[in-house]
Amino acid sequence: MMSGNQEGQVGNKDESGGGGCGRNCLSTCCLLQGGAKLPLYSFSKSAKDSGRSLEEKVPHSLFLDRLLKVWEDRRLRGLFHHDITACETKILPGEHGFIVVLVEGRDLKKRPTEFGLDKVLQNFDGRKFNFTKIGQEEVLFRFEESETDEARYLEHAPVMASACPNVIAINVSPIAYGHVLLIPRILDCMPQRIDRESFLLAMHMAREAQNPYFRVGYNSLGAFATINHLHFQAYYLTEPFPVEKAPTQRIATLGSGVKISQLLHYPVGGLVFKGGSSPEDLSDVISSACIFLQDNNFPYNALISDSGKQIFLLPQCYAEKRAQGKVSREILEKQVNPAIWELGGHFALKRRQDYEEASEGSIYSFLEMVSLSEERFAEMKGNILEALANGGVKDIMERAERDGKFVSNDPSCKN
């Protein structure tokens, strides 16, 4: 996700209002002290559920209309490393309907990962690439809660000196139409770790789209987040994800009304969260589960689906297996790093040969390797459910530490 500014390009000063360091960046020098004016989308927390499903054709919301319109403008201005609209895409025949897109040479243009993959929690390092260094031309708009409880969009809104805005920016290496980043409280420079406030913000983003084809994803460190600066990804794809079609089995219902299920007949073991008396209830439960995993050094991915009504939590151990030399050269040469989109069933392939030879069997086998073993997943599931039943993660974390559990990575990756 290398930005234009990181490649030596200088942004347009007219867009920032002048002043600052001259790079028209998103740091305080240009964003607060430079008199920047950025578009602002204000969302309403009380927005009603559209009630639409994947089977229904739906009109775009104000939010999604604006996002796709401004994203298309950035595409026409040549701010992306490739034109995703010109990339070949196909659905593989088979039970799951895995989706593959050919983006040749994508990894050659992406910024290399600047941290180790063995620790899920790492401190923010301002010397390394982070999103305050991107240009304001890459920003679509700010995303803030409405003061009037009504959604609205302002084309030119001053950034107040005391502000710490939530920013929606383009992903300069997109794998689908409308591929963007949500960067909560960008100037707080938070590392890539879930907190309750930020996850709820991502839930509001999914809900505001009012369209089940707009999904929001999260990758922890060790599960192929490439930047250690808190962010979510999102894009618009008018096909159901294979993981969304997988059958599930109910395993628990919490006092808040949140229902927890597990995936069945899918190559990646995962939990599915739905329901609750409010979006806050659902967000709080999934946040607690995410915090439990990251505090115990387990890499994971999360997918906010169905306009924020359904969330998939998918732990994985591919980076550990790769570090131990347990991934074949043939697979390594494909350069597929399984993040949330891949675990959900949407693959960006970099070589034409891999695209032409892709099959349901090869994708399924790869995802099976990425997933935890059945035994380890069952153990993790039980501990997460116990933590949630106790109303939090603190007690179960202390017990797990005493018992010697969840201190190291998945033992199934070491066999």
Q: Which of 370, 264, 365 is nearest to 316 (CA)?
A: 370
Q: Which of 340, 328, 409 is nearest to 365 (CA)?
A: 328
Cα–Cα distance list, 98 to 36, 233, 246, 302 (Å): 43, 20, 12, 18
Q: Give the pair of three-digit tokens for residue 186.
A: 């960008």
Q: How far apart are the first and last CA of the chain?
A: 34
The set of residues, in sequence order, having a beta carbon less than 8 Å from that of 275 and lying 6+ positions away, is 253, 257, 258, 259, 282
Q: Which residue in 179, 231, 265, 346 is the catalytic one?
A: 231
Beta strand pairing status for 310-315 and 300-305?
antiparallel
Rounded to 5 degrees, φ, ψ at 404 are 80, 20
The set of residues, in sequence order, having a beta carbon less than 8 Å from that of 44 and lying 6+ positions away, is 145, 146, 149, 150, 151
CA-CA-CA-CA torsion sign (76, 109, 10, 166): positive
Residue 231 annotated as catalytic: yes
The set of residues, in sequence order, having a beta carbon less than 8 Å from that of 47 and lying 6+ positions away, is 151, 207, 208
Helix, strand, coil percent content, the chain, rounded in steps of 5:
35, 20, 45
The set of residues, in sequence order, having a beta carbon less than 8 Å from that of 333 and lying 6+ positions away, is none
Rounded to 5 degrees, φ, ψ at 15 are -70, -30
Tell me the catalytic residues: 231
